[in-house]
Amino acid sequence: MIIIGFESSCDETGVALVCTERGLLAHALHSQIAMHQEYGGVVPELASRDHIRRVLPLTREVLKEAGIGMEQIGAVAYTAGPGLAGALLVGASVAQSFAWARRLPAIPIHHLEGHLLSPLLATPRPEFPFVALLVSGGHTQIMRVGGVGDYELLGETLDDAAGEAFDKSAKLLGLGYPGGPALSRLAQEGDAGRYDLPRPMLHSRDLDFSFSGLKTAVLTRLRSIEKESGRLDDRQRADLAAATENAIVDVLAAKAIKAIKQTGLKRLVVAGGVGANRHLRAQLVGAAAKLRCEVFFPPLDLCTDNGAMIAFAAAMRVNAGLVNLDSAHHAFTVRPRWDLEDICGPVAASA
């Protein structure tokens, strides 16, 4: 079966085609970064309108790239949440309209499940069970993944997520949008040892995170530097960026390794946008090697939000028998707030 997937949860419009037997056939993505840059962050109404403009051209693009006709598609998948309500409604409405017109089942997919399973699109791919470090935008979680639809939350952030810590710290340093990648690029030029920043909850007995205090520490250090020097020069900015990145990565890596030890599993999967961070990747690979564990990452071009992970998650659910493709209801909704553990087990498709 060929499944077309739509992703529109925030500021990327993604469309992809996945075959339940052959895997990813084609995907296309449009990022709204340039549009939101002048505002310093995502403007929900503008994001929703841009999804409307982009989704159909991207659909035509993936169909052409894969050499697939609309009559060959057997199901439609879409991100039903979490995310921005208006943005989610665009993808859901297009997907449901497509499904209704072609008399196909429509499969609602949890955005984080898409990220969680996206490393299985890479080669080599991890086998179940594994520990997953999910670091995507406003989410930082550690999960035990026993299989498709079998997710156990081991730890999560109590306040700011790692991605938010990157973005908010970058804004304090006067860096552009999106802040996280900009901070990471600048950090490569800095000396992380120059400034001592806290590692919140690094030594707690649980697997939870907290990053709001780190942002406050960056602000306090910044004010101290400006008071002493009058202003933050380029070298100080790079050093503070490096120290910030180090603090975040140290906590993420330590908690992930602690989860490996506690569960006794030998496979670690890292998913989500922050999973593209080179420092995090290197630190996790090095630490896991000492435990003789394997670490798996999604392809770099699939770390951000994308349609491929949504279509693929739907394909995985179909193959696992977790989707009722014969259900006959047509109503749909989106869920801007949606816990990942809520989707454990079967889900119904609209048909």
- What is the tens place of the pLDDT at every residue in 100-158? 999 999 999 999 999 999 999 999 999 999 999 999 878 999 999 999 999 999 999 99
How high does pLDDT run on average in the chain? Answer: 93
CATH architecture of 129-297: 2-Layer Sandwich (3.30)
Which amino acid is present at 300?
Answer: L
- What is the tens place of the pLDDT at every residue in 174-206? 998 889 999 999 999 999 999 999 999 999 999
Confidence tier at 172 by pLDDT (50, 70, 90): very high
State the average pLDDT over residues 206-230: 93
pLDDT of residue 325: 83
The answer on pLDDT for 161 being more than 80 is: yes
Q: Please say whether the beta carbons of 39 and 23 come within 8 A.
A: no
Q: At what angle do helices 212-229 and 162-172 cross, to 10 degrees?
A: 20
Q: Residue 249 and residue 54: Cα distance in Å, rounded?
A: 35
Tokens 């193959």 correspond to what residue? 319
Q: Please say whether the beta carbons of 118 and 110 come within 8 A.
A: no
pLDDT of residue 331: 72
pLDDT of residue 340: 84
pLDDT of residue 119: 93
If one compares 346 and 268, the residue with the highest pLDDT of the two is 268
Residue 13, judged by CB atoms within 10 A of its CB (0-12, 13-18, 19+), counts as: buried
pLDDT of residue 330: 61
- What is the tens place of the pLDDT at every residue in 282-322? 999 999 999 999 999 988 889 999 999 999 999 999 999 99
Would you mind telling me the total number of residues written for the chain in this entry?
351
pLDDT of residue 111: 96
Q: ω before 57 within 30° of 0 (cis)?
A: no
Q: Please say whether the beta carbons of 77 and 95 come within 8 A.
A: yes
The answer on pLDDT for 329 being more than 80 is: no
Confidence tier at 211 by pLDDT (50, 70, 90): very high
For 137, residues 6+ apart whose C-beta sits below 8 A from its C-beta are 10, 161, 163, 164, 272, 273
Q: Where in the chain is the domain with CATH 3.30.420.40?
A: 2-116+303-348, 129-297
Q: Which two tokens stand for residue 21?
A: 């037997």
Q: Which CATH number fits domain 2-116+303-348: 3.30.420.40, 3.90.226.10, 3.30.950.10, 3.30.70.890?
A: 3.30.420.40
* Buried b or exposed e, range 87-126, using 16+ CB within 10 angstroms: bbbbbbbbbbebbeeeebbbbbbbbbbbbbbbbbbeeeeb
- Which phi and psi (to 5°) does residue 22 adopt? -105, -10
pLDDT of residue 347: 60
State the average pLDDT over residues 11-39: 96
pLDDT of residue 21: 96
Measured torsion, CA atoms of residues 77, 81, 86, 89, in degrees rounded to the nearest 10: 30
Confidence tier at 339 by pLDDT (50, 70, 90): confident
Q: Please say whether the beta carbons of 170 and 180 come within 8 A.
A: yes
Q: Please say whether the beta carbons of 29 and 60 come within 8 A.
A: no
